[in-house]
Chains A and B, each alone.
Chain A
Amino acid sequence: MSASNVVAPSSTNQSGKPPVRAGIKKNRRQQSRWALYLIIPTLILLAVVIGYPVVTAIVMSFQKDAGLDPATGLFVQGGFAGFQNYAHWLFQQCMGTDGTTIACPPGNLGSTFWNAVFVTFFFTVTTVILETVLGLWFALIMNRAFRGRGFVRAAILVPWAIPTAVTAKLWFFIFSVAGIANAILGAHILWTSDEWASRFAVIIADTWKTTPFMALLILAGLQLIPEDVYEAAKMDGASTLQRFWRVTMPLLKPALMVAILFRVLDALRIYDLPAILTGGGGGTGHATTTLSILVIDQIRQGFNSAAALSTITFIIIFLVAFIFVRILGTNVVRTQEAQQKGAKE
């Protein structure tokens, strides 16, 4: 007889007692070893593909970009820069003519940093809210049984299945001044150059494209909710709306939080769509420039400074994720014990 408690297979109503931990230390060590083997492949892969470039970027962000040797006209290595690159971005500090520090003039990438932060956050908040609401709606419909549901599910995935570059070109085409958007609306909106029109163009295109992603993740979460829970609620006289808020949403919360978290992380790094749709322009020229667009622009001018910007972006995103997990409680480390302690019902 094993040392663990025998728990009869039942629905989740019963709160079973946790298994007796006779050899708890030995058990844990064994589990840790297994855990190591199972997790190591993932960690190694992430270390090589992402860890190595991140560390490289951080190291390089403290180097100066190459300067021009006036005698030969060739570039020579810049040497150590300390926090100069970071000051360039965070405080808009540029080098003046005699080595003095001046404020970065318009036209220099450093002067657009805070604007890019604003634009990135604006896009993230609007697109994530829109995509969550729409995604929830789509998922609820996809979850129902009706004729032609296969077609509806496939149709919902179409926007996301089209390669981003093609989608961006398509919307660029749709939103051009003589394009079909203006033709249908009977308007003359300068979608790619007006400040707010360009932002909405990006938001519309991104929402259209990425809602299926959210819908799919939320649908997966809906699958975890057993039918009898709904039926019990219905029997108790709950209306549809009540069933939604009191039953569906709480049980959906874990999957929903994961979906929103990852969507936020992706939205903070958005590049392809605004780059192709508006080139980062609009308004006075930076209405849709996100942090990633700024990084690519800077890479063309000096890699070390771009490394500093990437690191700053990384830290910003890290802070957002940290706040998200803390406050909204993406509950990520529950174990079996917590489940058995009756977290369900």
Chain B
Amino acid sequence: MKAARLSVVAGVALIGLALAGCTGGGSGGSSSGGDASQNLTGKGPITYVQGKDNSNVVRPLIAKWNAAHPDEKVTFKEQTDQADQQHDDLVQHFQAKDSNYDVVDVDVVWTGEFAAKGWLQPLTGDFKMDNSALLAPTVKSGTYNGTQYAAPQTSDGGILYYRKDLVPTPPKTWDDMLKDCDIAKANGIGCYAGQFAQYEGLTVNVAEAINTNGGTIVGDDGKTVTVDSKQANAGLSRLVDGFKNGQIPAEAITYQEEQGRQAFEAGKLLFMRNWPYVYNLAKTDGSSTVKDTFGIAPLPGVTADKPGVSSLGGHNAAISVYSKHKATAFAFLKFLQSEETQKFFVTQGSLAPVLSSLYDDADLNTQLPYLTTLKTSIENAVPRPVSPFYPAITKAVQDNSYAALKGDKTVDQALKDMASAIQTASQG
């Protein structure tokens, strides 16, 4: 029968296609990525890929570059606003060995994964960058296995927002903050909230709690699992006890950044851990009831002499190993780190710079009153684990700490399971 013959042919063709597809550099972390030694001196037009440009800083910068480099024009490819989406988009293009993506903006937690897959050009030799003027933790977030793969361009750190009408001096330690919770109760509001919904923000907050208490999630080599320790236990227990004793309101388990901001602006929280972006909004939002009654401070630590450890946020810029014009790409990286550009990030976008000198600039400090607090935060910040298995690690941390915060697991059990899950993740 004609139809039968046709279907057999079609079936064979399909299988052939599939086999061809999977032998020819299929997906799933195949061979060693691109050749890092190619196109090192290539100059020409490049594309810069970044997630949504919220505050309209990138376009003017690119216009400035293009005016000065008419033969090496930069095209801006804007992704969506969602971090997961940006990650998947980059992965797809790297897997397809796309040479159209030259310089990519990478979140601080993607360095390990992309570097281990061989997609990022190592910044060594001719591409060595001078990191002396930068804040040290930011450089750490772009380094994997001893080699730098990504150049920091913007940073971010968590800060403590507090109601200065109710608490004149901000607490320096977690215990002091808990003592102030009586004031919160007296006023009928919640005491403290961070980001505790089950998403990346939870890893940020849990990492902060663990790191502040002297624990770590993985060792310095990025591989040894160290999260099942006494210090980590102390850290996670602070959050768990906070929920248990009502110092952290029950609904905080649903909070992402925006929900916490909403509660704080409505006057329902005494203390809040959040990113600096809340500052301007809390001051200008029509519905904000705390416009003149809130202050900021570094995160509370364990002892009064050392501030709390914040998880490092921010973005780095990296060169794709498949790019054809790497010399131009490198020059663009340096442009992003130049003082002029960094200042523009602050003035135009209210983004935290990576050049430490800018934090002491008087003009910038008047424009962004939280700059000094932010500097303390970033100087003491610890990046989340720089590991090629970061997606699995963050899942392990989120799942287990969420269960612990809800009281479904003891902290001991949660940390044990977390360690076990991170271990299996690193097995590949």
A residues at B contact (CB < 8 Å): 32-33, 35-36, 40, 43-44, 47, 51-52, 55-56, 58-60, 63-68, 73-78, 94-97, 102, 104-109, 176-178, 188, 190-193, 279-281, 284-286, 297, 299-304, 307
Contacts and interface: CB of A to CB of B under 8 A. Distances in A.
Given A177-B251, A178-B266, A193-B254, A106 B399 contact: yes
Contacts of A94: 424, 427
B9 to A, nearest CB: 11
Contacts of B118: 74-75
14 contacts: A44-B10, A52-B21, A59-B22, A66-B28, A77-B30, A106-B417, A177-B251, A177-B254, A177-B259, A281-B198, A285-B398, A286-B399, A301-B395, A303-B29
A52 B254 contact: no
A190 B28 contact: no
A74 B400 contact: no
A188 B251 contact: yes
Contacts of A188: 251
A55 B388 contact: no
B263 interface: yes
B64 interface: no
A193 B424 contact: no
Which of B28, B395, B406 has the most chain A CB atoms closer than 10 A to its own CB? B28
Given A55-B14, A178-B263, A193-B406, 8 more contacts: A47-B14, A60-B26, A67-B428, A105-B417, A105-B420, A106-B421, A108-B392, A192-B197
Given A60-B26, A94-B427, A297 B395 contact: yes
Nearest to B425: A108
Given A279-B198, A301-B389, A192 B254 contact: yes
A51 B26 CA distance: 17
Which of B29, B116, B266 has the most chain A CB atoms closer than 10 A to its own CB? B29
Contacts of B68: none
Contacts of B88: 299-300
A52 B28 contact: no
B6 interface: yes
A301 to B, nearest CB: 5
A300 B87 contact: yes
B117 to A, nearest CB: 5
Given A68-B116, A75-B117, A193-B197, A303 B28 contact: yes
Contact of B399 (A78, A96, A102, A107): A107
Interface in B379-428: 388-389, 391-392, 395-400, 402-403, 406, 408, 417-418, 420-428
A193 B421 contact: no
B408 A284 contact: yes
B402 A302 contact: no
A60 B424 contact: no
Contacts, number: 178
B28 A60 contact: yes
Q: Which 6 residue pairs across A and B have the least CB separation, nearest first?
A: A66-B29, A107-B421, A107-B396, A303-B28, A67-B428, A281-B198
B39 interface: no
Contacts of A96: 423-424, 427
A55 B421 contact: no
Contacts of B392: 108-109, 301
A52 B14 contact: yes
A284 B3 CA distance: 52
Interface in B87-142: 87-88, 91, 115-118
Interface in B16-46: 17-19, 21-22, 26-33
A192 B256 CA distance: 11
B89 to A, nearest CB: 12
B2 interface: yes
B18 A178 contact: no
Interface of B is mostly: helix
B426 A68 contact: yes
The contact size tier of chain B is 35 or more
A286 B190 CA distance: 27
B278 interface: no
Interface string B355-376: 0000000000000000000000
B186 interface: no
Contact of B28 (A65, A105, A107, A108): A65
A36 B31 CA distance: 43
Contact of B400 (A77, A106, A279, A304): A106
B8 interface: no
Contact of B388 (A35, A75, A279): A75
Given A68-B428, A74-B116, A303-B27, A51 B421 contact: no
Which of A51, A77, A192, A285 has the most chain B CB atoms closer than 10 A to its own CB? A285
A77 B197 contact: no
Contacts of B426: 68
B323 to A, nearest CB: 19
Contacts of A60: 22, 26-28
B21 A108 contact: no
B24 to A, nearest CB: 11
Contacts of B31: 76-77
A284 B18 contact: no
Given A75-B117, A281-B198, A176 B30 contact: no
A106 B403 contact: yes
B271 interface: no
B86 to A, nearest CB: 12
Nearest to A99: B427
Contacts of A56: 18, 21-22, 26
Contacts of A286: 399
B14 A59 contact: no
B144 interface: yes
B263 to A, nearest CB: 7
Which of A60, A177, A178, A191 has the most chain B CB atoms closer than 10 A to its own CB? A177
A301 B427 contact: no
Interface in B263-294: 263, 266
Which of B3, B33, B262 has the most chain A CB atoms closer than 10 A to its own CB? B3
A118 to B, nearest CB: 17
B189 interface: no
A188 B254 CA distance: 12
A104 B424 contact: yes
B174 interface: no
A343 B243 CA distance: 66
B423 A97 contact: yes
A55 B19 CA distance: 9
Contact of A47 (B1, B10, B398): B10
Contact of B425 (A63, A193, A301): A301
B250 interface: yes
Contact of B391 (A52, A97, A177, A301): A301
